[in-house]
A and B are shown apart, each in its own frame.
Chain A
Amino acid sequence: MISIWFFIGVVLVLDGLIITGAAVYGLVVPPAPPPVLWGLHAGLWWGLLILVMGAIYTVKYAPRRSGRNHRD
């Protein structure tokens, strides 16, 4: 069975890409009015963190690479 952690990795990669993309777009075209603490660019850092975590989980638990059945 495909590991649940693989599914989670894929979802995180997709979410990370969307959030990072939206944050980069926000740097170019800032929303009006901007959210509170907009200057911290939390979306960019958070999106990148999610993307990296997702990539690690996707690669680590990918079915073709694991070569074993994960029941979890």
Chain B
Amino acid sequence: MVLAIGFYLKRRAESGEGFFLAGRQMTAWVAGLSFLAANLGSLELMGWAAAAYQYGILAAHWYWIGAIPAMLFLGLVMMPFYYISRTHSVPGYLKLRYGEGTRALSAVSFAFMTVLMSGVNMYSMALVLKVVLGWDIHFSIWISSLTVAVYVGLGGLLSAIFNEVLQFVLIWLGAALVPVLGLIEAGGWSGAVAKIAQATGSHSYTHLWSTLGSFGDNPMGINWFGIVFGIGFVVSFGYWTTDFLVVQRVLAAKDLRAAKMAPVIGAAFKMLVPFIVILPGLLALAVLPEHLVGETRALATGQSSYNEVLPLMLARYCGPGLLGLGITALIAGFMSGMAGNVSAFATVWSYDIYRALIRPGAEDRHYVAVGRWSTILGVLISIGTAYLVMQFASIMDYVQALFSFFVAPLFGTVLLGMLWRRATGPGGFWGLLAGTASSIGMWAWVKLQPSALAIIALSPRAQPMAEDMYRGIWSWVICVGVTVAVSLATRPRAEAELAGLVYGLTPIPAETDVPLHRRPIFWAAVVAAVFVVLNLLFW
């Protein structure tokens, strides 16, 4: 079916706008679901179910405070600037706002991060097929990724979006039964809480906030400051508002209102994802007879690892037909995640690296051809990185490290660019470079000298997850500090050049003639209210 969709949509992806931005024709619902599905890869499904088993309900912070405020901010505040500037990518916006240097730096780091992420996704997928079906891991990697290469290479972003919406539905149908049956077996939520406390010897696994007073009170070794400002602000705002993988889906919306509404719809569904990801990981603590261990120990002892928790739960409840649907969901998750990475890579490579730095001024169809070939190239590089990822013990820690390298400082650069008219081109460039370099430097420092973690995370009891959050915070602070300092020392751009790019200089269409129930701000308020209730409920 996914290949058929790719062939069907090929003729609609012959122009640059058609191939790279799906012709800017998507409704808010399609853009919103695709926006979420591109993030809901197999890594997301398996990795966070594993994190829930390992750290408890604290993993849900990555879905609630670590996503919802940022997604609403993207829709209501940032999307108008992306959309009105008619940019085709986030690096494209940086070119308009700061100049070529910042765009090149951002594009190269994004392309690097994207293929690495794609490799992580691919490895997760191959692991599922190996664990559940006994398939050869190398066969799985090649077959599934080449399928993605064909349908994205043929139909571009439109094909990726169509398939992502389809895969989003399959993910839900395949994964939703596990938590339902798990809750029945555990005796409801209260029964599960009691069983988890008994299995872990701690009550901290089922509380979202009450254990975050200090680093030593919770399984994750993090405190409320790291959660609120690390995940809730720097990392999540960086990812959801500047990572082109997700922003690209919203840029394909048919008009500004749809572009603003899409992240709000995505946020509403994002709040529900812990039901199919976090809850199965938690329930596994209550119902699985075996004890899961880390990847390194699993390889050494032959025990099952945290990363296998979701497949194990699927196998526990599902007979042959349902198990097939569950596996389909995981494969769908892999494909949507990988298609997201590959289509974003193709756009940034073709427009922001190839056209900007290698061959400017060619015909539109030449760039479309480059886009198709770079899709295949991106897949091949991803396959290479999948083999690299096999060397890492923990998939999620690796991804968090990547986020804090590139995404956290980029958020500082984009935010200042949109909201502060005094920010200058040199300020943006040096701020982004300093933020990224400092993040990589902090990571290397801890690798070489593990005791440095206590300095970066401001506590001797901090654990690796806290390190990622605090490194993100520091790199954002350094990026913003350097951008402000350099901007104040350099000549500002004329205000006329900043129209359409900066708050206060960009006329944003009013929505006074639109009924309340059709306004993005109304639905954002509804989502925000549910978000608050959920946090209080699981406090």
Please give, as numbers and ranges, the residues of chain B lying within 8 Å of A11 by CB-CB distance: 1, 166, 169-170
Cβ-neighbour of B318 out of A10, A35, A50 (below 8 A) = A35
Knowing that A37-B185, A43-B321 touch, tell me 17 more A-B residue pairs with CB under 8 angstroms. A8-B165, A11-B166, A11-B170, A19-B325, A22-B319, A23-B319, A26-B319, A34-B319, A35-B315, A36-B287, A37-B181, A40-B181, A42-B181, A42-B317, A43-B319, A46-B173, A72-B27
Please give, as numbers and ranges, the residues of chain B lying within 8 Å of A35 by CB-CB distance: 315-319
A36 touches B181 (CB 8 A): yes
Please give, as numbers and ranges, the residues of chain A lying within 8 Å of B181 by CB-CB distance: 36-37, 40, 42
**Chain A 20-44 residues near chain B, CB threshold 8 A:** 20-23, 26, 31, 34-38, 40, 42-43
What is the minimal beta-carbon distance from A3 to any residue of chain B, in angstroms?
Answer: 10
B317 touches A22 (CB 8 A): no
Residue of B nearest to A17 (CB): B321
Do A42 and B177 form a contact, CB below 8 Å, given A35-B319, A72-B27?
Answer: yes
Residue of B nearest to A19 (CB): B321
**B458-488 toward A: CB 8 Å interface, digit per residue (1/0)?**
0000000000000000000000000000000
- Docked complex Cα distance between A1 and B287 (Å): 47
> Chain A interface (Cβ within 8 Å of chain B)?
1-2, 4, 7-8, 10-12, 15, 18-23, 26, 31, 34-38, 40, 42-43, 46-47, 50, 71-72
- Docked complex Cα distance between A9 and B213 (Å): 48
Residue of B nearest to A2 (CB): B8
**Chain B 241-291 residues near chain A, CB threshold 8 A:** 254, 287
A72 touches B29 (CB 8 A): yes
**Chain B 1-58 residues near chain A, CB threshold 8 A:** 1, 5, 8, 12, 25-27, 29-30
Cβ-neighbour of B173 out of A1, A22, A50, A71 (below 8 A) = A50
Number of A-B residue pairs, CB cutoff 8 Å, is 86
What is the minimal beta-carbon distance from B319 to any residue of chain A, in angstroms?
Answer: 5
Please give, as numbers and ranges, the residues of chain A lying within 8 Å of B328 by CB-CB distance: 15
B177 touches A46 (CB 8 A): yes
B165 touches A4 (CB 8 A): yes
A15 touches B184 (CB 8 A): no
Cβ-based interface call for B302 (8 A):
no
- Docked complex Cα distance between A21 and B25 (Å): 39
A4 touches B166 (CB 8 A): yes
- Docked complex Cα distance between A15 and B329 (Å): 11
Cβ-neighbour of B185 out of A8, A23, A36 (below 8 A) = A36
Residue of A nearest to B4 (CB): A7
B321 touches A18 (CB 8 A): yes
Among all A-B residue pairs, the 5 with the closest Cβ atoms: A22-B321, A19-B321, A72-B27, A72-B30, A43-B322
What is the minimal beta-carbon distance from B277 to any residue of chain A, in angstroms?
Answer: 19
Please give, as numbers and ranges, the residues of chain A lying within 8 Å of B177 by CB-CB distance: 42, 46
Residue of A nearest to B320 (CB): A22
- Docked complex Cα distance between A42 and B181 (Å): 8
What is the minimal beta-carbon distance from B155 to any residue of chain A, in angstroms?
Answer: 11
- Docked complex Cα distance between A47 and B169 (Å): 14
What is the minimal beta-carbon distance from A67 to any residue of chain B, in angstroms?
Answer: 19
Cβ-based interface call for B324 (8 A):
yes
- Docked complex Cα distance between A38 and B166 (Å): 29
Cβ-based interface call for B162 (8 A):
yes
A46 touches B322 (CB 8 A): yes
Do A37 and B321 form a contact, CB below 8 Å, given A4-B162, A4-B165?
Answer: no
Which of B8, B254, B287, B319 is most buried by chain A, counting CB atoms within 10 A of its CB?
B319
Please give, as numbers and ranges, the residues of chain A lying within 8 Å of B26 by CB-CB distance: 71-72
Cβ-neighbour of A43 out of B27, B162, B173, B318 (below 8 A) = B318
Please give, as numbers and ranges, the residues of chain A lying within 8 Å of B254 by CB-CB distance: 71
Pairs across A and B, CB under 8 Å, 16 listed? A7-B166, A8-B166, A8-B169, A11-B1, A11-B170, A18-B324, A19-B324, A19-B325, A26-B321, A35-B317, A35-B318, A36-B185, A37-B184, A40-B181, A43-B318, A43-B319
- Docked complex Cα distance between A53 and B354 (Å): 45
Please give, as numbers and ranges, the residues of chain A lying within 8 Å of B287 by CB-CB distance: 36
B162 touches A7 (CB 8 A): yes
What is the minimal beta-carbon distance from B425 to any residue of chain A, in angstroms?
Answer: 38
A31 touches B27 (CB 8 A): no
Please give, as numbers and ranges, the residues of chain A lying within 8 Å of B324 by CB-CB distance: 18-19, 22
Please give, as numbers and ranges, the residues of chain B lying within 8 Å of A40 by CB-CB distance: 181, 184
B322 touches A42 (CB 8 A): yes
Please give, as numbers and ranges, the residues of chain B lying within 8 Å of A7 by CB-CB distance: 1, 5, 162, 166
What is the minimal beta-carbon distance from A19 to any residue of chain B, in angstroms?
Answer: 4
What is the minimal beta-carbon distance from B34 to any residue of chain A, in angstroms?
Answer: 10
Please give, as numbers and ranges, the residues of chain A lying within 8 Å of B5 by CB-CB distance: 7
- Docked complex Cα distance between A11 and B318 (Å): 20
Do A71 and B25 form a contact, CB below 8 Å, given A12-B169, A15-B325?
Answer: yes
A38 touches B169 (CB 8 A): no
What is the minimal beta-carbon distance from B149 to any residue of chain A, in angstroms?
Answer: 20
Residue of A nearest to B287 (CB): A36
- Docked complex Cα distance between A29 and B424 (Å): 72
- Docked complex Cα distance between A35 and B12 (Å): 46
Please give, as numbers and ranges, the residues of chain B lying within 8 Å of A26 by CB-CB distance: 319-321
- Docked complex Cα distance between A13 and B185 (Å): 29
